[in-house]
Amino acid sequence: MARSLWGRRGSPRLRTVALIGIDGSGKTTQAHRLAEALTAAGHPAAYHRNAGGRRWLGRLAHRLGRPDAQRLVGRNGLLAVESVLRWLAIGLALLSCLVTGRTAVMDRYSACQYASIRVHGGQRWERLARAGYRVFPAPRVTILLTVDPAEAYRRIERRGTDHESMRWLTSAATAYRALPEYADFVVVDANGPPDEVSRRIRAHLAEWLPDDPPSSTAGPPGGAGRGGPLSPQARP
């Protein structure tokens, strides 16, 4: 208890941490684990999944006999729906954590939308999205989980709930690296086992998390990683 109280007084408040990356990188698993670890360490946290609705639209498209969401609503329609739904999800998550005082652990953030727009080739939409998402504060730490597209593809096929093409995954990985915010991301290699990536994520958040984490934390199956030096965004 004394250690937890010291952490609250001696460390700056971790209001928001975001996990981003291509589909199959393990964002959901690691975001759940991180929210639980922060809460156990005395920093109450809440998990928030800021989905853009693309998976739901894809399922709807299949039911209606279309191959994918873009064939259902068109590229511009898809980008509009995705941008608005993600904006609303992020806004509600931030508002919830402002009211409750909990740390917001974000499974996806605005960078995910910018990367999606770039993969779709909608440069005009990126300018509009950035104007709309500018109202949201940048997370104190943004963790980019990187994974080989082939490994991400295998994970997606294993879970069996949706499908992504290798072309899409490769383009999305490139889009994240090309974002102007990339220099501020904490980059974690997510090709390994989930426990390994959890340890490496915790190492980047040592200000708020104890040095002796449990070997495994509950959460849905997903990705993992390897960390590098702490980025400027993650420093106090």
Mean pLDDT by 10 residues, the chain (236 residues): 40 89 96 97 95 61 56 69 92 96 97 94 88 96 98 93 88 97 97 96 92 50 40 38
Contact call for residues 45 and 35 (beta carbons, < 8 A)? yes
| Residues in CB range of 163: below 8 A, 6 or more apart | 156, 157
pTM: 0.79
At 195, list the tokens: 């426990």
Contact call for residues 70 and 78 (beta carbons, < 8 A)? yes
Residue 217's Cβ-side half-sphere holds a number of Cα atoms within 13 Å equal to 25
Contact call for residues 215 and 16 (beta carbons, < 8 A)? no
